[in-house]
Amino acid sequence: MNRIFQAIVALFVLATVATAAGGPSLEKGKELFTSTSLGTNGRSCAGCHANGKGLEEVANYDEKSLSKIINQCIVKALDGKPLTVDSVELSSLVMYVNSLGAAKAK
Ligand code: HEC
């Protein structure tokens, strides 16, 4: 009985934290895309991919491959640490990059 109670409390705490932090969103993706905080060399994604430059083909990747590529750019182009797979940050970036690609493909 005690274990079940603990599990319920843990779930409740997790749900509260998740709601407070919010899920992935385009706004968060945009913020990260233009922010220099992902890396250590003062660059941002937008510095190289202004207005979706170079992102015309992103619709051809699934979310998992896109996450990998984004992390490669963070590590190689921004001298940053890769984001955790399925994190709000990475999911938001995937969302935003996809929106740029879709706009470009038109
Ligand atoms: C120093 C310049 C630079 C920065 C900064 C940079 N990238 Fe890139 N990115 C590139 C280059 C170069 C390529 C590979 C060549 C290409 O497809 O344009 C690329 C490729 C990509 C691709 C794959 C495009 C494709 O169709 O193959 C994605 C997605 C991407 N970058 C996202 C990002 C994101 C998100 C960030 C920020 C975290 C970022 N990039 C930061 C230079 C950069």
pLDDT (tens digit per residue) in 36-62: 999 999 999 999 999 899 999 998 999
pLDDT at 5 over 70: no
Tokens standing for 50?
A: 């202004």
Q: Are 18 and 46 in contact (CB under 8 A)?
A: no
Confidence bin at 89 (pLDDT 50/70/90)? very high
> Which residues line ligand 1 at a C-beta cut-off of 6 Å?
38, 43, 45, 47-49, 54-55, 57-58, 66, 69-70, 73-74, 77-78, 93, 97
- Please tell me the predicted confidence (pLDDT) of residue 72: 98
Phi/psi of residue 13, nearest 5 degrees = -65, -45
Atom of ligand 1 nearest to the CA of 58: 26
Nearest CA to ligand 1 atom 17: 54
Pick the more confident residue, 78 or 21: 78
